Amino acid sequence: MFGLIGHSTSFEEARNKARSLGYDAYADGDLDMWCAAPPQLVERVTVTGLTGQTIEGAYIDSVFVPEMLRRFKTAKRKVLKAMELAQKTGIDITALGGFTSIIFEDMNLLREERVSAVELNWERFTTGNTHTAWVICQQVEINAPRLGIDLNRAKVAVVGASGDIGSAVCRWLQRRGVAELLLVARRPQPLVDLQQSLGEGRILSLEEALPEADIVVWVASLPQGLQIETATLPRPCLMIDGGYPKNLDTKAAAPGIHVLKGGIVEFWQDIGWQMMELADMAKPQRQMFACFAEAMLLDFEGIHTNFSWGRNNITLAAMDLIGAASLRHGFRALELDPAPQPATSLATA
């Protein structure tokens, strides 16, 4: 059995959802009331993969909302309580979605093995980052040529390069072969460490990297106020919006700049669940975050272990393994839609 731990994208959206489900007390409650609320198992689902194999799963809403991020104790308790519920429900492998994996890593929750009387078994959880990284790499490889971008000649900026997903994307792109990797993050030392381990890559600020980048992979949670100077970007430019929340389509909207929601997969058939309705997916019945899909894939494959865990541990071998499973069981990385015209006609558009 697989599990998914998620949350609403805002307090307002969470209240609307509560009202639609008939939980009027929650819909009218303030943030303090929501902070005290326990996690909810809101949906059970049966999923049939492309091979005909069927698995069972459950979605747990952590009842966390991003407005709680600054309330550290609350955020921590929300994630641990949702994990406790997943374990008590008997779920074999559960993905930590959205901010929950970031809270887990940033607040070093590995130290918190015990929630109430329950000892958490880390083997039952995965961040889903290996599949997310693989999907983002697929999105680069499939969509760049459609825009007339030759990957072998392309400069690729990875914003969040020193992170868990970003460093894996850099290793994959290095093996694939690109003209140059532009490494972007705020703290210099982790970037220097990454550059040394790769044996290549140029460390730049965001402002320096963007005017050079044919492709930009965003794998960092970016500040709401971030402004992108679109006039200085090369044309065409492929932007993979892999961070959370996904907000680049409005920030980088300009002719010749193609923004694709990163780390999203589409299943081969409708699933018949409600859980993605509020996640701003174009096709919520079959599209989902790649990290969620990783829990399904691990269940399909009978790999009941913390496949993605800790920071900067993602190997190319693990990406290849989860990528092959992804295709086998009927997932496809989200592509640019509709298929754009080649670069020659874009230049005159």
Contact set with ligand NDP (CB under 6 A): 102, 128-129, 132, 159-166, 184-187, 190, 219-223, 242-244, 263, 289-291, 311
Q: How far is the CB of 204 from ligand NDP (least distance, A)?
A: 11
Q: Which is nearer to ligand NDP, 104 or 300 (CB)?
A: 104
CB of residue 29 to ligand NDP, shortest distance in Å: 26
Least separation in angstroms between residue 28's CB and ligand NDP is 30
CB of 244 to ligand NDP, least distance (A): 3
Q: How far is the CB of 206 from ligand NDP (least distance, A)?
A: 6
Nearer to ligand NDP, 49 or 160 (CB): 160
Between 57 and 242, name the residue whose CB sits nearer to ligand NDP.
242
Residue 18 or 237: which CB sits closer to ligand NDP? 237
Q: What is the 3-class SS of the chain, one letter each residue?
A: CEEEEECCCCHHHHHHHHHHCCCHHHHHCCHHHHHHCCCEEEEEEEEECCCCCEEEEEEEECCCCHHHCCCHHHHHHHHHHHHHHHHHCCCCEEEECCHHHHHHHHCCHHHCCEECCEECCHHHEECCHHHHHHHHHHHHHHHHHHCCCCHHHCEEEEECCCCHHHHHHHHHHHHHCCCEEEEECCCHHHHHHHHHHHCCCEECCHHHHHHHCCEEEECCCCCCCCCCCHHHCCCCEEEEECCCCCCHHHHCCCCCEEEEECCEEEECCCCCCCCCCCCCCCCCCCEEEHHHHHHHHHHHHCCCCCCCCCCCCCCHHHHHHHHHHHHHCCEEECCCCCCCCCHHHHHCC
Shortest gap between Cβ of 36 and ligand NDP (angstroms)? Answer: 25
Minimum CB distance to ligand NDP smaller for 177 or for 223: 223
| Of 115 and 217, CB closest to ligand NDP | 217
Cβ proximity to ligand NDP: between 316 and 343 the closer is 316
Nearest to 160 by CA among 201, 103, 221, 108: 221
Which residue's CB is nearer to ligand NDP, number 111 or number 187?
187
Cβ–Cβ under 8 Å, residues 139 and 260? yes
Backbone φ, ψ for residue 198 (5° rounding):
-80, -30
To the nearest whole angstrom, how small is the minimum distance from the Cβ of residue 293 to ligand NDP?
8
CB of 51 vs ligand NDP, minimal distance in Å: 23
Closer of 3 and 190 to ligand NDP (Cβ) = 190
Report which residue's Cβ sits closest to ligand NDP. 163
